[in-house]
């Protein structure tokens, strides 16, 4: 935990949350734009972006899944930041452990 505390002393957790959100939106929008360029009949309510196969072009799935892979470690850091924040605010240790 000391390593995480040192990390969060240097990096503000709220900036990490903002950066992760921007990465998520960026990769999703790029995937949608690529899909619309390939298939103008694309709709987010009908098609799934990350599904490989006939309906989704390979480049769209690759871009979307790359964004998800980049976000995974960042999301873990965000969750750890939230746990540390709750611990500092006096939340019950049992509730933090359960979550």
- pLDDT tens profile 28-39: 899 889 888 888
Report, as an integer, the average pLDDT of 6-33. 88
Predicted local distance difference test score (pLDDT) of residue 29: 92
How does pLDDT run across 44-96, given as a tens digit for each residue?
A: 788 777 665 556 677 888 888 888 899 999 999 888 888 888 888 888 877 77
- Provide the H-helix boundaries in 1-99: 2-10, 13-38, 58-88, 93-98
- If one counts every other C-beta atom within 10 angstroms of the C-beta of residue 43, the result is 9
For residues 78 and 13, is the Cβ–Cβ distance under 8 A? yes
For residues 80 and 4, is the Cβ–Cβ distance under 8 A? yes
For residues 67 and 27, is the Cβ–Cβ distance under 8 A? yes
């Amino acid at each position: 935990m000391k390593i995480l505390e040192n990390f969060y002393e240097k990096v503000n957790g709220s900036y990490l949350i903002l950066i992760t959100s921007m990465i998520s939106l960026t990769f999703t929008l790029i995937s949608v734009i690529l899909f619309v360029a390939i298939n103008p009949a694309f709709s987010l309510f009908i098609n799934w972006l990350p599904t490989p196969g006939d309906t989704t072009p390979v480049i769209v799935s690759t871009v979307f899944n790359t964004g998800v892979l980049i976000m995974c470690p960042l999301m873990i850091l965000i969750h750890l930041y939230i746990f540390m924040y709750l611990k500092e605010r006096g939340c019950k240790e049992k509730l933090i452990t359960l979550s």
